[in-house]
Amino acid sequence: MLKNFVMPDLYPAAPELFLAAMACIILLVDALTGSTRRWLAPVLTMLTLIGCALITYATLDGMATLTFSNMFVDDPLSDFLKLLLYFAVITVLIYGRGYLAARNLDKAEYYLLLLFATLGMMVMISAYNFLTLYLGLELLSLSLYAMVAIDRDSSRATEAAMKYFVLGALASGLLLYGMSMIYGATGTLELGRVAQAVHEGVANRTILVFGLVFLVSGIAFKLGVVPFHMWIPDVYHGAPTAVTLLISSAPKLAAFAMVLRLLVSGLFGLVEHWQIMLMLMAVLSIGVGNLAAIAQTNIKRMLGYSAISHMGFMLLALMSGVVGAEIDPIALINAYSSALYYSVSYVLMSLGAFGMVLLLSRSGYEAESLEDFKGLNKRSPWFALVMAVLMFSMAGIPFFVGFFAKFSVLLAAVAAGHIVVVVLAVMFSLIGAFYYLRVVKLMYFDNPVDGAPIQAGFDMRLLMSLNGLAVAAFGLFPDALMMLCTETLVRSL
């Protein structure tokens, strides 16, 4: 058997191998140094992520390379998403450092779980096989379950972790069952060969459609869209805010890659079936997310429901790639690049919004109620402006990145002929603007409840400011990011 073994090309997976090796080194360093040098873990984690970014950038070649028996792909899309992923996780590290230290949660376990979650997302982004995709997904999920429960003294965090774990296990079961049915129908787990079998019509269509339903159900849970959205507000609320920041941002990039790989690269031949499912989930998510967010008084729960509606917009773009029986390559790229643009924009906005919650929190005090934002303009006019920019952008008000993200998605949906869906999406977005503008009203027109000075390090204040400026800048100059998303997909699909 060993004579037939072919050594895989490790070069395309160099960032993943480096991260895995560094995680093991950090584990050993922590075991040897104990709690005497707690600064080592965050510093080494930061250096690891920077190292991964440098390796990914150094290996950019604009070509798609398959390795590990066609289970792993390195293409422009995976490189682009991984670079964004490193940026998001580094931002999570900087934003959450002070919050974790104030609550004695900045232990090596947190940083190791963060690295393994990042590794899982990287594997998901480059997966070209059902097994690889599931491996990355479970590595991410198990790390997140533990991170939600990392504050063992908090009953709320423990409850949130249990809900997340139970519902996540159910979703994983649905996903696995769908994969097994598709494997039974096509005889392969490789996405390219699955696509070929579906296109040639050699697979049993009925079994494929049943498998697709379970597959889309599993995807919907991981995205947190209706009707598999129940875990989002509870987990966002119950988890430590630094962990909520992670859950709300970086995994959305990996989830986008998962949807694109599974439905577009693997099951594009069943587009008429998954298009209808995505349409229903998109409309329901935009509606339920915006309506439920209005009733929230906790900003983490409000942003959780907001995330549901934003993921609905992302699905709206994905379902707009095909019009009728004809496939227009230009419409296809426009729709999928709009989905990618929306995902990137949402991650940028979500990092800023939850970063502001962390900025206002301090030792022994959680600034997670809407009341905590009252009179922020009197306490800090600059950060009130940053938060206002983020809220305006999430509401889709011109001229911020969120407006152009929604606009590009709606244009793609109109081009695909989904006029009714677009009208509903616009109506629900107008309703949803209320709860974003309510935050702005509290900051500028109400008296502060808490007069304590904002305690945050220079690095967090600087990055928070840059985060807000980026949301504004990409709104004023949206073409650069949109062209980058389009070019990435043109080279990858």
In the prediction, which pLDDT does 35 show?
67
Q: Give the model confidence (pLDDT) of 209-226 as tens digits.
A: 999 999 999 999 988 998
Helix, coil or strand: residue 19: helix
Q: What is the pTM of this model?
A: 0.94
* Residue 239 pLDDT level (bands cut at 50, 70, 90): very high
Q: Note whether residue 4 is domain-resident.
A: no
Q: What is the DSSP letter of 388?
A: H
String of DSSP letters for 101-149: HHTT---HHHHHHHHHHHHHHHHHHHB-BHHHHHHHHHHHHHHHHHHHT
Q: What is the mean pLDDT of residues 131-156?
A: 93
Q: Cis peptide before 227, with omega less than 30 degrees from 0?
A: yes
> Does the structure show a pLDDT above 80 at 450?
no
Q: pLDDT band for 191, please (50, 70, 90 cuts).
A: very high
Name residue 65's beta-bridge partners: 74
Residue 3, domain member (yes or no) = no
pLDDT of residue 326: 65
Instruction: Note the pLDDT of residue 7.
Output: 77
pLDDT band at 3 (very low <50, low <70, confident <90, very high): low
Given a contact cutoff of 8 angstroms between Cβ atoms, the answer to whether 359 and 234 are in contact is no
Identify the band that residue 166 occupies on the pLDDT scale cut at 50, 70 and 90: very high
Contacts of 101 (CB under 8 A, 6+ apart): none
> Which pLDDT score is estimated for 5?
65
Work out the average pLDDT over 242-246.
Answer: 94
How far, rounded to the nearest angstrom, does the alpha carbon of residue 454 sit from its chain's CA centroid?
A: 28
Neighbours of 280 (CB within 10 A): 15
Instruction: Give yes or no for residue 247 having a pLDDT over 90.
Output: yes
63-113 confidence digits (pLDDT tens): 888 888 889 999 999 999 999 999 999 999 999 988 898 888 888 899 999
Tell me the CA distances in angstroms from 246 to 289, 317, 367, 402, 415, one per residue in order.
20, 24, 17, 20, 34
Place of tokens 């950060």: 383
Do 102 and 362 meet the contact criterion of CB atoms below 8 Å apart?
A: yes
Reply yes or no on whether the pLDDT at 227 is more than 60: yes
Are the CB atoms for 263 and 280 separated by under 8 Å? no
Structural domain boundaries enclosing 130:
10-492
Of 353 and 399, the structure prediction assigns the larger pLDDT to 353
Evaluate if residue 1 carries a pLDDT over 60.
Answer: no
User: Which is higher by pLDDT, 176 or 34?
Assistant: 176
Question: What does the pLDDT look like over 44-67, one tens digit per residue?
Answer: 999 999 999 999 999 888 788 888
Phi, psi of 319 (to 5 degrees): -80, -5
In the chain the first and final C-alpha atoms are separated, in Å, by 36
168 occurs within a structural domain: yes
One-letter identity of residue 229: H
pLDDT at position 30 is 87
Torsion sign across C-alpha atoms 461, 360, 434, 426: positive
Query: Which residue has 């942003």 as its token pair?
Result: 303
Which residue in 225, 480, 226, 241 sits closest to 344, CA to CA?
Answer: 480
- Round to whole Å and give the CA distance between 129 and 138: 14
Q: 257, 212, 251, 258: which is closest to 232 by C-alpha? A: 251
Cα gap 195→265, rounded to integer Å: 7
Domain-located, residue 38: yes
Give the mean pLDDT of 426-442.
93
Look at residue 105 and tell me if it is in a domain: yes
Asked whether the predicted pLDDT for residue 451 surpasses 80, the reply is no
Q: What is the pLDDT of residue 119?
A: 96
Contacts 24+ apart (CB under 8 A), 260-264: 260/77, 260/318, 260/336, 260/339, 261/127, 261/128, 261/133, 261/191, 262/133, 262/191, 262/215, 262/219, 263/216, 263/219, 263/318, 264/318, 264/321, 264/336, 264/493
Bond preceding residue 399 cis, omega within 30 of 0: yes
| 3-state secondary structure at position 226 | coil
Q: How many CB atoms lie within 10 A of CB 161?
A: 24
Q: pLDDT tier at 286 (50, 70, 90 boundaries)?
A: very high
Q: How many domains does the chain have?
A: 1
Phi then psi for residue 285, to 5 deg, are -65, -45
Kindly give, in sequence order, each residue whose CB lies less than 8 Å from that of residue 206, ignoring residues fewer than 6 positions away. Answer: none
Q: H helices within 446-478, ranges in order?
A: 458-476
Residue 2 placed within a domain: no
**Separation CA 377–CA 164 (nearest Å):** 36
Whole-number average pLDDT of the chain: 90
Helix (H/G/I), strand (E/B), else coil: 267: coil
Q: Residue 480 corresponds to which tokens in the numbers above? A: 């650069």
Give the pLDDT band (50/70/90) at residue 2: low
| 115 vs 326, higher pLDDT | 115
The dihedrals phi and psi of 176, each to the nearest 5 degrees, come to -65, -40
> 5 lies in a domain?
no
pLDDT of residue 325: 57
Mapped onto helix, strand or coil, the DSSP state of residue 72 is strand
Measured CA to CA, the distance from residue 335 to residue 77 in angstroms comes to 15
Residue with tokens 């990137």: 344
